[in-house]
Structure 1
Amino acid sequence: MKHSLSVTIAMSIVLLFCSCKTAQTPYKISDGSTFETKPFYPKFNWKTTPMYYMFGDPKRVLHPEEVEFIAERTDFICIEKSHGHGDLGAAELGAKHEVAAFKKLKPDMKVLFYFNSAYAWPFTSYNKNFTHENINNHPELKAFLIENPETKELEQRKNVFYFDVLNPDFQEWWVNTVAEGVAFSGADGAFIDQMHGFSWLRQDKVQEVQKAMGAMMKALKEKLGSDKILLGNNANAKLAQHVFPSIDANMFEHYGNNLLSKEKLLNDWEDMLRISKAGKISIFRIGVEYDSVAVSDPSFYKGKFRNKRFAKLSKEKLEFYHACYLIGAQPYSYFQYGWGWQLAHGSLMDYPELQNPLGAPKGAYQRTSSTGWEFTREFEHASVWVDTETRQSKITWH
């Protein structure tokens, strides 16, 4: 009896050890260290290119077949700022609808709620009064906005007002509002856009603005709780230096062709390593609307065939941008691809190459010479070569 009990206990310990060991796969960073994942992160693997999707349709919610299409390709998405506004009347309702739709199909899916920390987009019910028609009737909200110091008019871009991160009352309202949106929608966290706080409008207070933004993001992370994902857009940038400690994930948005230079891509790869070593997630987002081909031809952006032109361009440019991602990819680095933020801007495009078997990287990337711009990297099922100076590339699948 005593011997049998000892054997049972020993077997239980072994089984417990094995289950703990297999419950969470350890992933190696390119420098040989181990990525320290967190239980609330999305599922990650190297079977195919790890993808992140972010989209919105201001007119409607997704059709069931669209939910299925996206869910087949990723475990990690964000519902963009105006989604479902036309159908449901408020963006948080659109987010709630899609959170339920995706989780019904894929319970472990991680879905983020969008909110902006700089622009007062009026698409949620929380923000609906930040408009020219309504703002003067809400002085408590108007106090949250930046005024031009000379004209005393509200600062704006295309009729969208600017939040004043230096206002403590705004900070409190903003943190509570984002947390409410996440809770209401049932989301797994928040994507926060614009980390700059319009510091360039207040050159004498740049450091103050940056510290205020950092404090606000720290307060948001605490309010959301330790089991929610906080993703900051370009939170790796110098302007967001005080934000970085509080985020769980960073997006490299590449919102201009200058951000895709050979020097900048090399910096991105170094940052992807730094972010991974900090146990944080990376999103390597490419929008071909900023590709030099499109930028040099204004007709790309005009007319009813705009999306067809960009769809064609995205197919032509995929290998190069995909290679740029793969050279720097680390555990919990995700690729996002398209030509904008709306649903019609690539989220429903089929890119078969992104479904090819990939496998884990065999090591860090190699630079063919200390002064050259050719890079290579080996994966289990792919050999990657890219020249970021000539913008040529080759991915050999095997």
Structure 2
Amino acid sequence: MKSSFVINGVLSFFLLFCSCVTVQPPYKISDGSTFETKPFYPKFNWKTTPMYYMFGDPKRILLPEEVDYIAERSDFICIEKSHGQGELGAAELGAKHEVAAFKKVKPDIKVLFYFNSAYAWPFTSYNKNFTNEDINNYPKLKAFLIENPETKELEERKKVFYFDVLNPDFREWWVNTVAEGVEFSGADGAFIDQMHGFAWLRQDKGQDVQKAMGTMMKALKEKLGPDKILLGNNANAKLAQHVFPFIDANMFEHYGNDLLSKEKLLKDWEDMLRISKEGKMSIFRIGVEYDSVAVADPLFYKGKKRNERFAKLSKEKLEFYHACYLIGAEPYSYFQYGWGWQLSHGSLMDYPELQKPLGAPKGAYHRTSSSGWEFTREFEHASVWVDTETREAKITWY
């Protein structure tokens, strides 16, 4: 009788545990090995194209129907750097509001807090004083910024100052600040932008800058704790070589048309495989604002119909860019698509192809010839062909 009671109790506890913890099935990497997932990662599956969303509206928070729309399409999102500042007064308040809103409709969704490691964007209460109007009143903060060695003026781009990662006091402040933002907002981790540390401004100290950035990211990962996600933007790049060991996920931000060359795409796919084999996630981000069609026409970026032009272009270019992602996609590789970082730049755009049944890949991609630029790959419900030289593609759904 007693043993039966104990067994039933253990069984009940096990069933309760299983109901609270999502156990992901083992996913095969394209080389045949198994992806080693971590319990704090988002849910992943191949039912449809795995999507990552990253968005912000500096003027307001999301409407309930906008939360629902995004939550239906993704388990992995980030609230961008200035979101909700106009309505709530500070970006960390915007992030906190949206974390709660998304968790209410989808408790398992993973939401990241944004912070920059190079640019001193003044959108949160933590860095609101990094402005031309205020910075001289805060000498401690001013010491965190890079000066021009000749003029002694603060380096800046469009009135945004540059953080000095070589300053250990700055690194300590920055780590504590990001961790505070993550904790306050209730986020599941952090997206860290600009991993370069402005190494090119101090080429004589380039290696020191890279090592300091690695030191800072290591400290952040430790401060956040083992159950939080650290996503680095272009942390696969050479300038971020000391950062890569400490991230859980890497974004391939194609911030220029040259980063979508046939050679670069092939390198991306190789990196996606390497990253997956190390148990890390990938975001394959495409912004059609850098597509050659838009770049060739400066008027594309101007006027009230800017978003209409980009929305049309994004529809026209989707098959090619979608195919480029699918050729290299591995377990826990996500696709992000649009034409910028604001909410109005594609996050609420309906792309039916991204909701079509996809299914798991049947194997690695195939290069039709050793010197050619045509690639194919088979999924359970789709056949993908792309020519990265002519920039043509065809996805056949079945």
Q: Same fold (TM over 0.5)?
A: yes
- Structure 1 position 5, deviation (Å): 10
User: 1:11: how far off?
Assistant: 9.2
Rounded to whole Å, the distance in 1 between the matches of 2:352 and 2:363 is 25
User: Are the equivalent residues in 1 in contact too, given 2:24–2:43 (CA < 8 A)?
Assistant: no
CA distance in 1, matches of 2:185, 2:22: 32
1:241 maps to a residue whose letter is: Q
Q: Give the secondary-structure state (helix, strand or coil) at the position aligned to 2:107.
A: coil
- TM-score computed with the length of structure 2 as normaliser: 0.96
Tell me whether 1:363 sits opposite 2:363 in the alignment: yes
User: Given residue 333 of structure 1, which amino acid in structure 2 is its aligned partner?
Assistant: S
Q: Which AA in structure 2 matches 1:177?
A: T
Number of equivalences: 398
Deviation at 1:24, TM superposition (A): 2.4
Identity %: 87
Query: Does 1:111 find its partner at 2:140?
Result: no
Q: What per-residue deviation string (whole Å, max 9, x for no partner) do you get for residues 266-321 of structure 1?
A: 00000000000000000000000000000111110010000000000000000000
Which residue matches 1:337? 337
Does the 8 Å contact 2:337/2:346 carry over to 1? yes
- Alpha-carbon shift at residue 4 of structure 1 (Å): 8.2
Per-residue CA shift, 1:312-365, capped at 9, x if unaligned? 000000000000000000000000000000000000000000000000000000
1:262 alignment counterpart = 262
Show the counterpart of 1:276: 276
Shift of 1:23: 2.6
Partner-residue secondary structure (3-state), 1:230: strand
> 1:228 maps to which residue?
228
| Residue 294 of structure 1: aligned partner | 294
Question: Shift in Å at residue 15 of structure 1?
Answer: 8.8
Structure 2 residue runs without a partner (length 5+): none
For 1:281, give the aligned amino acid: M
The secondary structure found in structure 2 opposite 1:202 is helix
Does residue 375 of structure 2 align to residue 375 of structure 1? yes
d(CA) in 1 for partners of 2:22, 2:190? 29
Show structure 1 runs of 4+ deviating over 2 A: 1-12, 18-24
Instruction: Write out aligned runs for 1:10-159 (5 A).
Output: 23-159=23-159
Equivalent position amino acid for 1:379 in 2: F
Report the CA distance between 1:238 and its aligned residue: 0.3
Task: Tell me, in whole angstroms, the C-alpha distance in 2 between the residues paired with 1:380 and 1:20.
Answer: 30
Report the CA distance between 1:20 and its aligned residue: 12
Task: After TM superposition, give the deviation of residue 21 of structure 1 in Å.
Answer: 12
Q: Secondary structure at the match of 2:293?
A: helix
**Shift in alpha-carbon separation, 1:20–1:75, aligned structure 2, 3 A:** closer
Q: Distance in 2 between matches of 1:93 and 1:250?
A: 26
Instruction: Report the equivalent of 2:176.
Output: 176
Q: Which amino acid aligns with 1:280?
A: K
SS state at 2:73 partner: coil
1:301–1:24: structure 2 CA closer, same or farther, 3 Å change rule? same
SS of the residue corresponding to residue 115 of structure 2 reads strand
SS of 2:113's equivalent in the other structure is: strand
Unaligned runs of 5+ in 1: none
Aligned to 1:226, what secondary structure does the other structure show?
A: coil
How many angstroms apart in 2 are the aligned matches of 1:160 and 1:8? Answer: 62
Closer/same/farther in 2, CA of residues 167 and 294 from structure 1, 3 Å limit: same
1:19 is displaced (CA, Å) by: 9.5
Cα distance in structure 2, aligned partners of 1:383 and 1:99? 37
Distance in 1, Cα, partners of 2:19 & 2:132: 58
Structure-2 separation of matches of 1:273 and 1:169: 37
Q: Relative to structure 1, is the Cα distance of residues 374 and 93 closer, same or farther in structure 2, using a 3 angstrom cutoff?
A: same
Summarize the alignment of residues 195-214 of structure 1 with structure 2, pairs less than 5 Å apart: 195-214=195-214
d(CA) in 2 for partners of 1:129 and 1:333? 37
State the distance in 2 between where 1:2 and 1:365 align: 58
RMSD after superposition: 2.3
Amino acid at match of 2:254: H
**Per the alignment, do residues 9 and 293 of structure 1 end up closer, same or farther by CA in structure 2, a change over 3 Å counting?**
same
SS in structure 2 at match of 1:154: coil
1:320 counterpart = 2:320 = yes
